[in-house]
Amino acid sequence: MSLPQTLLGLLEREPRHGYDLKREYDAHFGERRPVKSAQVYATLGRLLRDGEILVLGTERVDGPDRTSYALSAEGVTQLERWLAEPEPATPYLQSAVYVKVVLALRSGRPAEHILDAQRQAHLTLMRELTARKRGADLATTLACDFTLFHLEADLRWLEHTAARLDRLATELTGNGGGR
């Protein structure tokens, strides 16, 4: 997820302070993609520098100064361009799990425990997401489903790989001694 474009999207409806943007970001996206306040303000600085947002004013409300930001015409153009572009399909050929399996097998270490540990981590997260969906609003349910579907695909890959560890070890080491 692109933080600059996400902030532009959050500003589209109405001007907001950085604090409010961080709070809204956290409410919609923060559980899976946390962001720090410093990241929000640094990104706002870049968006301001690039002319994609404007400062409407600064006020003091029981604490530090709060600057109010609004989307500029250039920001609207950038947001529309980003929303229209499909996200690139991300091949997971070089995922960390894949790398760990290959390195374990190349060194003669067993790789089953890597796959088992990953499977358990996925199943734990899937149980948490499924529980979170109970009684949740539609936006939360759809966000959970998106992650659940990806985790299900990962589990299929883990099973597929586990069934082929001997063959992969042979290909990688020439002797099949990786298990």
Per-residue pLDDT of 86-124, as tens digits, reads: 776 666 545 778 878 988 888 888 899 999 999 999 999
Q: What is the CATH number of domain 3-84?
A: 1.10.10.10
Per-residue pLDDT, 2: 86
So where are the chain's domains? Answer: 3-84, 96-173
* C-alpha 168 chain-centroid distance: 30
Q: Rounded distance, CA 179 to CA 174, Å?
A: 13
Q: Cβ distance 53 to 75 under 8 Å?
A: yes
Per-residue pLDDT reduced to its tens digit, 31-40? 777 899 999 9
Amino acid type, 155: L
Q: Cβ distance 176 to 166 under 8 Å?
A: yes
Q: Rounded distance, CA 80 to CA 77, Å?
A: 5
- pTM here is 0.67
Q: Rounded distance, CA 135 to CA 128, Å?
A: 13
Q: Cβ distance 103 to 172 under 8 Å?
A: no
Residue, of 163 and 31, whose pLDDT is higher: 163
